[in-house]
A and B are shown apart, each in its own frame.
Chain A
Amino acid sequence: MTMRARHVRLWLGELRESVFMSLHAIAVHKLRSTLTLLGVLIGVFSIIVVSTAMRVLEQNVERNLSQLGGSTFAVQKFPPVQFGNRRDWEKYWRRKDITLEQGKVVEEKATLAGAVGVEGRFWSGRVRTIYAKTGPAVALFGETPGSFAAHGWEIADGRILTTPDLDERAAVCVLGAALAKTIFPFGSAVGQPVKLNGIPYNVVGVLAPQGKSLGGLGDNFALIPLTTGLGRYGLRWSGLSILVEARSAIGYADCMEQVRDVLRGVRHVLPGQADDFEIFSNDTLIGQFKSFTLAVRIGVAVVSSLALLAAGVGIMNIMLVSVTERTREIGVRRAIGARKRNIAVQFIIEAIVLCEIGGAFGTLLGVAGGNILAWRMKLPPALPLGGIVLAVILCSVVGTIFGTYPALKAANLDPIESLRYE
């Protein structure tokens, strides 16, 4: 066998032995170990619970992002993602609703706009045809003709919703590609009847699949004329959105200003007063989310480093007690051939194992805690892999840093003195 292989084997054997011994030591001193683990647990929990929650929110933001094209912005009564406090909420609620008429005014007056659409989301529900039935998570939107261009939606089959559809409040719908495929697996959907939450509609068009949907609705939605929807269903709390696509990328900012002026006029906002609506694009969304997450991340970093620092000091104390208690064991090990290094490694590994166990519990609780948010917000659950890797590394670092002093103390004990220790 080569020297190298022998070394590796020696090392692995030692590692296994140390892990075994430390698990043993931890099991023997349950109460003491639990108290020590608590610090690590809290530190890791705060990291994981927040990164899980962030991941959940991120998915939510991505879902919103996928709704807007590159040169499109939207106007809404509420900001698309709320991180604010209660006072902000009340401010948003008191604002006047955005109406279809205001959308029409924007369409007439905003000369820099290429396309203007008005959109409202009604519900998520079940879609049924004679062939198939979907799960209860298909989104239903009301749209105007301009929405298609503003979203960058292209028609694969049939036609888009038209002004006559809106005027007549026609019971027609356009399906997202994925939805069409689910409920009409055998042929074209166009001209077929469907039931959206029990109410019959006729399919007039199917959208082309949207290449990379950023983890959003994944083409699993149906579109009806906005007027039809407003007559039949209540809007969700977020109200209507006006979608505006700028005529050109260069004119984007100007177009946004123009739309802002038009809306201030039509909504009677006095000069000097703040807007009573929100304008946002993908960029502003990302920016808002970034600044929010940065603040939270800094907060968590502070809290968790304090917790881990406290935990580290706790670990060091426990390890020092452990070294004293096991002085004789250290003497025996030295007498039968353990080097200083062997003893040091054993105690450092014990500290790391202790930390990792605390970290594992913290991670489990953190993932569970973070996903409560997902559950409450009806968002899909998330697993923050980056956070978990970070936690594992942090635990090892804390264990190594705070285990080193006790380990060196143990390694440098005089073997004869230790053997005589009562």
Chain B
Amino acid sequence: MSLIRLENITRCYQMGEETIHALRGVSLEIERGEYVAIMGPSGSGKSTLMNLIGCLDTPSSGGYELNGARVSEMDDNELAAIRNREIGFVFQTFNLLARLNALRNVELPLVYAGVPSGERRRLAREALAQVGLADRLRHRPNQLSGGQRQRVAIARALVNRPAILLADEPTGNLDSKTGEEIMALFVELWRNGNTIIIVTHEEDVARRARRVIRLRDGGIAGDDRHKPASGERAVITPVAQT
């Protein structure tokens, strides 16, 4: 069974008289443990698709199954629970809470999951160690570099051990060297068994992925599976990372 199954998904926005078709009939399956890059020109519907996969948005029509659950028919509370359990978001603009230190930012998803505070702290520390920030627990976002902020955001996305990691242009706000490091981190996380979907504009970022889905005008224009340039993994095993 696929982890993600989209069937003829559409998403329209009503702008006064005009109807904008952001997605026009997207069908797609993504397996557990895949590393997928989504590419396409600006306005082609990449973010719209990510929001749907991430259960932040619901389709205008079509069906969506995540991990065997019919997401397209869920109500607001159920969607929130799914986002909390199954999805880890990484944003282009980091979106950390400025008033909280790294540890507390990473703890936040666990707060909504109802994890007791001691356990929360332990898991958050672990996640931060995993992204190489074990020594920056008490730093506020404005005391961290861009790359470090994105690492905190990745730790926050990982801390609930979600089924998928979704990243919409995660290197868009970073210089190329830092961007490289973040991409290397994603590869490492993928090797540890995470399912990763990344939206990107950069071909060399996409080249690292095993699968590239190209969108154009709200539809799928290409879906190539290829060997990544480096970091091929012998067997895809969904090992739970620690």
Give A residues with C-beta under 8 Å from B.
6, 9-10, 13-14, 16-17, 21, 24-25, 28, 328-329, 331-342, 415-416, 419
Within B154-179, the residues touching A (CB, 8 Å) are 156, 160
Most B Cβ at <10 Å: residue of A6, A14, A21, A336: A336
In whole angstroms, what is the CA distance A299 to B57 when docked? Answer: 54
Separation in Å of the B150 CB from the closest CB of chain A? 14
Separation in Å of the A249 CB from the closest CB of chain B? 68
In whole angstroms, what is the CA distance A13 to B112 when docked? Answer: 9
**Neighbour of B56 across the interface among A16, A24, A333, A416, CB < 8 A:** A416
Q: Return the chain B residue nearest A415 by Cβ.
A: B56
Separation in Å of the B158 CB from the closest CB of chain A? 12
Separation in Å of the B234 CB from the closest CB of chain A? 33
CB pair B80–A339 under 8 Å, yes or no, is yes
CB pair A419–B80 under 8 Å, yes or no, is no
CB pair B95–A328 under 8 Å, yes or no, is yes
Supposing A416-B51, A416-B56 touch, asked if A338 and B112 sit within 8 A by C-beta, the answer is yes
CB pair B114–A10 under 8 Å, yes or no, is yes
In whole angstroms, what is the CA distance A341 to B51 when docked? Answer: 21
**Neighbour of A339 across the interface among B57, B77, B97, CB < 8 A:** B77
Q: Given A9-B114, A332-B96, A336-B112, 5 other A-B contacts at CB below 8 A?
A: A13-B116, A337-B112, A337-B113, A338-B112, A419-B91
CB pair A333–B89 under 8 Å, yes or no, is no
CB pair B113–A332 under 8 Å, yes or no, is no
For residue B81, which residues in chain A have a CB less than 8 angstroms away from its CB? 337, 339
Interface membership of chain B positions 56-81, coded 1 if the CB is closer than 8 angstroms to chain A and 0 otherwise: 11000000000000000000110011
Q: B30 on the interface (CB 8 Å rule)?
A: no
Main secondary structure of the interface of B (DSSP, over half): helix
Most A Cβ at <10 Å: residue of B56, B108, B111: B111
CB pair A416–B89 under 8 Å, yes or no, is no
For residue A415, which residues in chain B have a CB less than 8 angstroms away from its CB? 56
CB pair B54–A335 under 8 Å, yes or no, is yes
In whole angstroms, what is the CA distance A2 to B85 when docked? Answer: 21
A–B Cβ pairs within 8 angstroms, 15 of them: A13-B117, A28-B99, A332-B97, A333-B112, A335-B83, A335-B89, A335-B95, A336-B83, A336-B89, A337-B112, A338-B80, A339-B80, A339-B81, A340-B76, A416-B57
In whole angstroms, what is the CA distance A290 to B57 when docked? Answer: 63
For residue B83, which residues in chain A have a CB less than 8 angstroms away from its CB? 334-337
CB pair B76–A336 under 8 Å, yes or no, is no
Most B Cβ at <10 Å: residue of A17, A21, A339, A341: A339
For residue B57, which residues in chain A have a CB less than 8 angstroms away from its CB? 416
Separation in Å of the A171 CB from the closest CB of chain B? 76
Interface size on B, residues (CB 8 A): 27
Separation in Å of the A337 CB from the closest CB of chain B? 2
Q: Return the chain B residue nearest A338 by Cβ.
A: B112
Q: B109 on the interface (CB 8 Å rule)?
A: yes
CB pair A342–B112 under 8 Å, yes or no, is yes
CB pair A336–B156 under 8 Å, yes or no, is yes
For residue A329, which residues in chain B have a CB less than 8 angstroms away from its CB? 97
Q: Return the chain A residue nearest B111 by Cβ.
A: A17
For residue B112, which residues in chain A have a CB less than 8 angstroms away from its CB? 333, 336-339, 342
For residue A25, which residues in chain B have a CB less than 8 angstroms away from its CB? 99
Separation in Å of the A166 CB from the closest CB of chain B? 78
For residue B56, which residues in chain A have a CB less than 8 angstroms away from its CB? 334-335, 415-416, 419
CB pair B111–A14 under 8 Å, yes or no, is yes
CB pair A13–B111 under 8 Å, yes or no, is yes
Separation in Å of the B14 CB from the closest CB of chain A? 14
Most A Cβ at <10 Å: residue of B80, B96, B116: B80
In whole angstroms, what is the CA distance A197 to B85 when docked? Answer: 82
CB pair A337–B114 under 8 Å, yes or no, is no
Which 9 A-B residue pairings sit nearest by Cβ, starting from the closest?
A: A337-B84, A10-B114, A337-B112, A339-B80, A336-B109, A332-B95, A337-B83, A335-B89, A415-B56
In whole angstroms, what is the CA distance A24 to B100 when docked? Answer: 9
Separation in Å of the A98 CB from the closest CB of chain B? 72
For residue B113, which residues in chain A have a CB less than 8 angstroms away from its CB? 337
For residue A337, which residues in chain B have a CB less than 8 angstroms away from its CB? 80-81, 83-85, 109, 112-113, 160
Q: Return the chain B residue nearest A340 by Cβ.
A: B76
In whole angstroms, what is the CA distance A329 to B80 when docked? Answer: 15
For residue B85, which residues in chain A have a CB less than 8 angstroms away from its CB? 337
Q: Return the chain A residue nearest B78 by Cβ.
A: A339
In whole angstroms, what is the CA distance A21 to B112 when docked? Answer: 14
Separation in Å of the A8 CB from the closest CB of chain B? 10
**Neighbour of A334 across the interface among B80, B91, B96, B111, CB < 8 A:** B80
For residue A21, which residues in chain B have a CB less than 8 angstroms away from its CB? 99
For residue A338, which residues in chain B have a CB less than 8 angstroms away from its CB? 80, 84, 112
In whole angstroms, what is the CA distance A335 to B83 when docked? Answer: 7
For residue A340, which residues in chain B have a CB less than 8 angstroms away from its CB? 76-77, 80
In whole angstroms, what is the CA distance A17 to B97 when docked? Answer: 14
